[in-house]
A = this chain, B = another copy of it.
Amino acid sequence: RTLRIGLIPGDGIGREVIPAGRRILEALPTSLGLKFSFVDLDAGFETFKQTGVALPDKTVETLKKECDGALFGAVSSPTTPTKGYSSPIVALRKRLDLYANVRPVKSVAPTPAFPDPIDLVIVRENTEDLYVKEEKTYDAPNGQGKIAEAIKRISERASSRIATMAGEIAIRRQKIRDTTGDTTGKKAMVTITHKSNVLSQTDGLFRATARTALEQQRFKDAGVEIDEQIVDSMVYKLFRQPASYDVIVAPNLYGDILSDGAAALVGSLGLVPSANVGDGFAIGEPCHGSAPDIQGQGIANPIATLRSVALMLEFLEQEEAAARIYAAVDGNLAEGKLLTPDMGGKAKTEEVVDDILRRL
């Protein structure tokens, strides 16, 4: 089978890590019976500066018509307000209805602060909440400057499907723990994150809908527990007892914040992958940004991207190929010799990729 993959490097180090993603796909053993073809696609702030459009229609159309999946690098945000510019990744998520942003966070090794292994996944709703970007600005009465408003929109439909996805991921993770002889004693659990003590209607709807979705019989049968945390308390607990969490489901903005927070627990954003997932389509995307400070030096950590490749493959139902990549990355990290500077090492992006390809 041949899978066609769109490559959207975007800005900054996106251009250094996406080629690594392509390399690992090309290096997968032929015994897996998978072939890949690639198409290079534009998006990002550079694209905006050159063409006036951050996400060209051609990119969206090619993804829709030709591709099975894609890899997205990173985008730079303008440092000053820029008329007409709007984040292309946010737009892409909506235009392809990639309704889930799945962000697994796994510790490399025990540390004094976190002796127990961290292995959780944040399942972030990816299409609504404040990300609908419906804003307006008007003059305050009595001349006291301007006032701006944004809409936070939460729907039963989006809340239900994201919670259902979270439940399914909880089942899949439990199966993997069962087959690999997990010794952590972790239980399948989905923690619903919200702020319904203040936002009783919007976050209240998210909370109630997620709960109903997770009470479906198949989740009960699989022993998936339902837990909940108010978002501020969730951030606190994430840092105090990260090992106790399994799957965390959250509306878009809380999910955005929580996943960066969780990344901090495992040492580097450069390790944390994500996948933007819709029905039958997935875009792998490292959680880190375009990192202009290290751009062009060839020292970006490729691991977040390589893991995002694996995550994309999982959602394209290529679990064996995905498992190969995860194992190769874990091998590199366990040895701990070839590490990029964000991990305290001195290796270049290329050297880390070479090492991981050898382990495939």
Q: Are B198 and A87 in contact (CB under 8 A)?
A: yes
Q: What is the CB-to-nearest-CB distance from A283 to chain B, in angstroms, rounded to a whole number? A: 18
Number of copies: 2
CB A26 to nearest CB in B, in angstroms, measures 32
Report the Cα distance A214→B268, complex, angstroms.
Answer: 32
A148 surroundings in chain B (CB, below 8 A): 153-155, 201-202, 204-205
Contact B136 A201 (CB under 8 A): yes
Q: Is the CB of B204 within 8 A of A90?
A: no
Kindly identify, within residues 253 to 297 of chain A, every residue whose CB is under 8 Å from any CB belonging to chain B: 253, 256-257, 259-261, 263-265, 269, 289
Interface string of A135-148 (1 = CB under 8 A from B): 11100100011111
Q: How large is the interface on A (under 10, 10 to 19, 20 to 34, 35 or more residues)?
A: 35 or more
Nearest B-chain residue to A199, judged by Cβ: B150
How near does chain B come to A216, taking the closest CB pair, in angstroms? 15
Q: A113-B112, A199-B133, A205-B148 are in contact. Are A257 and B235 (CB under 8 A)?
A: yes
- Residues of chain B within 8 A of A263, CB atoms compared: 236
Chain B: CB-nearest residue to A78: B197
Contact digits for A93-123, partner B, Cβ 8 Å, 1 yes 0 no: 0000000000000000001110000000000
A156 is an interface residue with CB less than 8 A from chain B: yes
Q: Name the one of B151, B198, B233 contacting A131, with C-beta atoms under 8 angstroms.
A: B198
Chain B residues near A204 (CB-CB < 8 A)? 81, 148
Contacts A137-B201, A204-B81 known; A152 to B152 CB distance under 8 Å? yes
What chain B residues lie within 8 Å of A239 (beta carbons)?
A: 239, 261, 264-265
Residues of B within 8 A of A201 (CB): 135-137, 148-150
A260/B235 contact (C-beta < 8 A), A111-B113, A133-B198, A205-B146 known: yes
> How many angstroms from the CA of A146 to the CA of B155 in the assembled complex?
6
Question: Does A358 make an interface contact (CB < 8 A)?
Answer: no
Task: Give me 4 other A-B pairs in contact (C-beta within 8 A), A232-B257, A240-B264 excluded.
Answer: A137-B201, A144-B157, A145-B156, A148-B153
